[in-house]
Amino acid sequence: MMTHEALIEVVGLVRLFGATRVLDGVSLTVAPGEAVALLGPNGSGKSTLLKIVATLLRPTRGTVRVLGHDCVRQAEAVRAGLGLIAHGAHVYDDLTALENLRFWATLGGLPADHERLTAALDDVALERYAGMRVRTFSLGMKRRLALARLSLGRPRVLLLDEPFAGLDQRGRKWLATRLEAFKAGGGAVLMATHSFGRELEIADRLAILAGGRVVLDTLRAALGADDVQRLYAAHTEEAS
């Protein structure tokens, strides 16, 4: 399964929380230009897997490499090349959109000149709201601002936890287009989702997690929405 080109390589990953084995020997790869959708019921370990790949949690056993760097021993190198959008948008409500970008760029040691920051806002169609406090933003706008923030660091790997949750149709379409462009640029996407809808169309592969294991890892292209539903039901019920 492992390839030399893979931007994300997870091998034999085990994670225990006390006596509970949340991940039990997960192996997975994501190649450049590829998006893998993690499907699974609540508590199947999707978010835990993302957090370990993002270096926010340590594995109990197994290895995780991102961009060729070990997620435990070379966490700083991993962090320099990845972007995470989890349940929170990682923005401050009492700062404006522009101030948020300036803060995160400065903290990350990135250039924070006005032109660059406004270009990033322009890129996510938020330039008109640059001076507005994020507190007034909708969930979709916060997601777009989060993407603008990530784009400042030019990550090669994106980790997304329920990226389409709370977005309206227009927002979903917009995000799918952005992710397609990211893939086309050679980036790798690993996203956890509960959705079986059109959002899955950006995924090249589906990995179903159940009982802490990857119970199915398959190409998505040949599968329709009904096929995905059927496979999901069959594998998650079997695992539970």
- Which spans of this chain sit near another protein (rule: CB under 8 A)? 54-56, 76, 79-80, 82, 84, 86-95, 99, 103-104, 107-109, 133, 142, 153
Residue 202 Cβ vs another protein, minimum distance, rounded to whole Å: 23
Nearest approach, Cβ of residue 182 and another protein (Å): 18
Q: What is the rounded distance in angstroms from the CA atom of residue 99 to the CA atom of residue 218?
A: 42
Nearer to another protein, 163 or 211 (CB): 163
Distance CA(12)–CA(84), nearest Å, equals 22
Choice between 98 and 202, CB closer to another protein: 98
Output 107 or 184, the one with its CB closest to another protein: 107
| Angle in degrees, 0-180, between the axes of helices 139-152 and 169-184, rounded to the nearest 10 | 10
For another protein, the closer of residues 165 and 239 by Cβ is 165
Q: At its nearest, how many Å lie between another protein and the CB of residue 136? A: 12
DSSP labels, 134-177:
GGG--HHHHHHHHHHHHHHT--SEEEEESTTTT--HHHHHHHHH
What is the rounded end-to-end Cα distance, in angstroms, of the chain? Answer: 25
- Evaluate whether 216 touches 231 at the Cβ level (below 8 Å): yes
Residue 101 beta carbon to another protein: minimum distance, rounded to whole angstroms:
12
Q: Considering the complex, state which of residue 149 and residue 235 has its C-beta at the smaller distance from another protein.
A: 149
Nearer to another protein, 149 or 213 (CB): 149
Question: Residues 6 or more apart from 15 whose CB is under 8 A from it?
Answer: 21, 22, 23, 45, 48, 52, 57, 59, 60
Distance CA 65, CA 60 (A): 15
The nearest distance, CB 172 to another protein, in angstroms, is: 20
How far apart, in whole angstroms, are the C-alpha atoms of residue 177 and residue 171? 10
Minimum gap (Å) between residue 71 Cβ and another protein: 12
